[in-house]
Amino acid sequence: YPRLFCLALDYLPAQASSVPSERVFSGGGETDCRRCNRISPALFEQLQMLKFMLKKAHLDFGQKWHVTDEEM
Q: What digits encode the pLDDT tens for the residues 30-45? A: 777 766 677 888 988 8
User: Is pLDDT at 58 greater than 70 in this prediction?
Assistant: no
- The CA distance from 68 to 49, in Å, is 31
User: Is pLDDT at 55 greater than 80 in this prediction?
Assistant: no
- The structure's pTM equals 0.46
What is the overall mean pLDDT for the chain? 75
- The CA distance from 59 to 63, in Å, is 9
Of the two residues 6 and 65, the one the predictor is more confident about is: 6
Q: Residue 19: its pLDDT value, please? A: 66
Q: Residue 67: its pLDDT value, please? A: 73
